[in-house]
Amino acid sequence: MDDEVDIEKRGALKRKEITGAIASALKMNSFDLLSSYIPEENELIYLKKHASQKDKYIYDEIDPETFKNQTKENFEIVEEAGIDHQLNWSQTELVDQQEMKKNDYNYTVFMAVQDMNGKTMKLSYDAIKIKEKWFIFQGIRVEQCLTVRKDCPKQ
């Protein structure tokens, strides 16, 4: 039955790959670079079939198209926050990545990008393991913007 759910060409073998893809997508202002890391219908079907009873309701409520659109909206909010913070996205580099394990299949990943002027933005996202591959599960969000003088604008 699981063979019907083909996700072999999607997702990441390591969470670090997703973090790098997010940093690149933000740098190039290209949400499309993340499409293979966002769960689609096949991945969500797999989650629904294999979820514990207490988590099953979460996956039953997810519509793949809505999920992708919400992830894109979160991406755009992060980009706008960086622009408001005068971060030069085209000159950013990934400078840090840390993880907080929730369980074997769920992590919150914290990352920091910095531009050539030293402006830093700390971001996070949740990653979920689906059939031995990692995907973005909760959209990308701003944790903190750092400069010498001010914090990130409030959303």
Please write the tens of the pLDDT for every residue from 119-131. Answer: 999 999 999 999 8
pLDDT at position 8: 63
If 0-12 CB within 10 Å is exposed, 13-18 middle and 19+ buried, where does residue 37 land? buried
What domains appear along the chain, each with residue ranges and CATH number?
2-146 (3.10.450)
Q: In what order do the strands lie in the sheet with 133-146?
A: 93-103, 106-114, 120-130, 133-146
Regions in the chain scoring below 50 on pLDDT:
1-5, 148-155
Decide: residue 138, CB within 10 A, 0-12 exposed, 13-18 middle, 19+ buried: middle
| Rg over CA atoms, the chain | 16
Distances (CA, A) of 125 to 48, 76, 122: 21, 14, 11
What pLDDT was estimated at residue 100? 94
User: What is the reported pLDDT for 148?
Assistant: 44
Taking a C-beta distance cutoff of 8 angstroms, is the pair 12, 18 a contact?
yes
- Give whole-number Cα distances, 64 to 41, 45, 86, 154, in Å: 6, 10, 33, 29
The pLDDT assigned to 109 comes to 96
